[in-house]
Amino acid sequence: MAHYFVYADKDATLIRGAREVATGSSKNTGMDEILEVGKKFESGTTSFNEVNRALVQFDVSTISASVADGTMIPGTKFYLNMYDAGATELNRDNTLYAYTVSQSWDEGDGKHTDTPQTENGVSWRYRTADTGSEWGHSDSGSWGGTYYSSSAYTSSQTFNKNESVDMRMDVTDIVNHWISGSVPNEGFLIRRALNEETSSTHSGNFKFFSSDTHTIFQPRLEAVWNDSVWSTGSLGPLTSTQIERLTLSLENFKPRYKKGSLSTIRVKGREKYPARTHSVTSSYMDVNYLPSGSSFYSITDSRTQTTVIPFGTGSAISCDSNGNYFNLRTEGLEVERVYEVQFKVESGSGINKTVQYFDNNDQFLMER
């Protein structure tokens, strides 16, 4: 499995009130279960009373080491994953931006609902509880985080009106800057465009689960690379006729795996109803290989149906002289959860291309 996940070390929502000073600019939300990005208005008016941005930081030391030792190959892609916790009033296509934070900050242990407000961590105005640690000014004198604003240190994702607002933003350039050491890793700042934050237009409010959620949807940094290999030896391919009537099965697949384990799972494809022959061996025992570069697996949380590993370059099925297989890495899977493995096989091309999906209810429990 050429997917690796890192969970957020710390995160918080930054809150700017209707007036930048004295209306919550020192409020810390480090222990909130929800991160917010957007703005809120006074009831029935076009005057906003709150602007929200989100901070989230990941420890990338393991990723850096894996790049250095060649485990993660050149061209590895990195994605920031954040999960919808009930976005409100999103009434059109929306774009969120991830900026590379340029100053350190403390998460704190406050909540939005604290009365009086907690001020012992990061806020719109301050990086820490120390009143001498204001964010460096940016955006025409605003606080709300200090960051590198050039395109080389910025990523974005557009959410179409009728699509899910789960985030899977390509942040490869930013993470590569951290790995190279060209800038320190102080995390991401997630925000709308400045003109949207300050306009009188109702453009809605994003809500994402934070690292303090009691669900499985905490923010994750995902590394994706292609670790597939292809060496068929003396094996022959499945014919186009066989692929049309294909059935897949798994060998050495277990009902339970330990967190952090690495296992090779064999994938056997054969024609569902092979023709009878006079051979002394059963055709059910034949080993032929699936289409190269067009066979993939995915892993889904069985209960929530959330896709953890999608079909794609990072989930291409490999082949050796014994047949097809994939490597199951379990570092990024939640313990005490049941996961399901599914498959996708493409064959042909152009208007004659066919895509087949296989769900045999192959499930496993992730153990501690």
Would the pLDDT of 277 be above 60? no
In this predicted structure, which of 103-117, 130-144, 208-222, 326-340 has the lowest mean pLDDT? Answer: 130-144
- Both structure tokens of 267: 């994938």
pLDDT at 44: 65
In this structure, the strands spanning 3-7 and 220-224 are antiparallel
Would the pLDDT of 304 be above 80? yes
Domains within the chain, CATH numbers bracketed: 3-224 (no CATH), 236-367 (2.60.40)
pLDDT at 21: 58
- Both structure tokens of 319: 């082949």
Q: In what order do the strands lie in the sheet with 167-170?
A: 3-7, 220-224, 77-82, 167-170
- Residue found by looking up tokens 């409010």 in the block: 205
Which pLDDT band holds residue 279 (cuts at 50, 70, 90)? low
- Both structure tokens of 92: 């059109």
CA distance 270 to 319: 15
Three-state SS for 313?
Answer: helix
pLDDT at 240: 79
CA distances from 366 to 14, 16, 253, 331, 338 (A): 35, 41, 13, 10, 6
pTM beyond 0.95, yes or no: no
Which comes out higher in pLDDT, residue 366 or 42?
Answer: 366
pLDDT in tens, 218-234: 999 999 998 899 999 99
- Residue found by looking up tokens 């930048």 in the block: 20
pLDDT at 140: 45
In this predicted structure, which of 58-67, 224-233, 235-244 has the lowest mean pLDDT? Answer: 235-244
Would the pLDDT of 280 be above 70? no
In the chain, what percentage of residues exceed pLDDT 70?
Answer: 92
- Both structure tokens of 141: 């004198």
Which pLDDT band holds residue 302 (cuts at 50, 70, 90)? very high
CA 266 to chain centre: 26
Q: Which of 339, 3, 39 is nearest to 198 (CA)?
A: 39
- Both structure tokens of 81: 């994953």
| Residues facing residue 16 across a β-bridge | 51
Would the pLDDT of 281 be above 90? no
- Which range scores top for mean pLDDT: 88-92, 137-141, 283-287, 344-348? 344-348
